[in-house]
Amino acid sequence: MIIEDDPELSLILTNYLTKYDMEVIGAEDPYIGLSLLTQHDFDLVILDLTLPGMDGLEMIPKIREHSSIPIIISSARDDITDKVIGLERGADDYMPKPYDPRELVTRIKTILRRTHISEKAKNSQDEIFKVDKDSRTILFKNKMLDLTAAEYDVLSMLIAHKNGSVSREQLLYESEHIDDESSVKNIDVIISRIRHKIAKIDKDNIYIKPIRGVGYLLTTHL
């Protein structure tokens, strides 16, 4: 999103960024910009400082109250104090006008790449179960589970549907290593073995829970 009260500049930047497959929404009014931030899932904000009704420096803490979205300040004000205050209040970058739009594209890509890598690392750290499809292995709390081929099939399906129920029939028929003619009761046996192996690492919590009349659910919301 571009929060900029100069419609001509906003249009120029929007047209230029669109060439790089960036979808842009503009807001000339800071209050509209704050409202849009609560209605849409933006990746980044380009923020002018000289805005009607509210200075851009005042907007930054208001944005930070409910979002950690990256902010690039785009300002014709060349006072170093503005830059220092903007960065101290939570902006990620500062670009004094005028600037080459190509530099803006580079700065956006750099920030988004850093943000996405950080989010990916955080999400990876947050995952209790980690599936490696290439090696057909599963880590639980960063420890390798010693699983049979059938146990891997069942547990990986439960992880793929985390926090959602999976029927015994689905676990049976979508597994590559369980005979189609097997009884669904075999799934209960396999689940029991998986639970036992998980309990060797964490005996205090039950991660795979039965859903009466349906099947099982794997949850990390304990």
* Distance separating alpha carbons of residues 60 and 79, to the nearest angstrom: 17
Quote the distance between the C-alpha of residue 119 and its chain's center.
6
Q: Do residue 107 and residue 147 come from a single domain?
A: no
Q: Do residue 93 and residue 154 come from a single domain?
A: no
- Run means of pLDDT, 10 residues per run, the chain, 222 residues: 95 95 94 91 94 95 90 92 94 94 94 73 68 92 94 95 90 86 86 96 94 90 71
Domain count, the chain: 2
Q: Indicate which CATH number applies to the domain containing 67.
A: 3.40.50.2300
Q: Do residue 205 and residue 176 come from a single domain?
A: yes
Tokens of 195: 């639970």
**Which of 70, 99, 123 marks a domain boundary?**
123
Strands (E) located in 14-128? 26-27, 45-47, 71-75, 93-96
Q: Do residue 133 and residue 28 come from a single domain?
A: no
Residue environment code for 115-154, b if the CB has 16+ CB neighbours within 10 A, otherwise e: beeeeeeeeeeeebbebeeeeeebebeeeebebeebbbbb
**Which of 76, 92, 123 marks a domain boundary?**
123
**Which of 69, 90, 123 marks a domain boundary?**
123
What pTM did the predictor assign?
0.56
Q: Which domain holds residue 146?
A: 129-218
In this structure, how many other beta carbons lie within 10 angstroms of the beta carbon of residue 35? 12
pLDDT of residue 208: 96
pLDDT of residue 98: 92
pLDDT of residue 185: 87
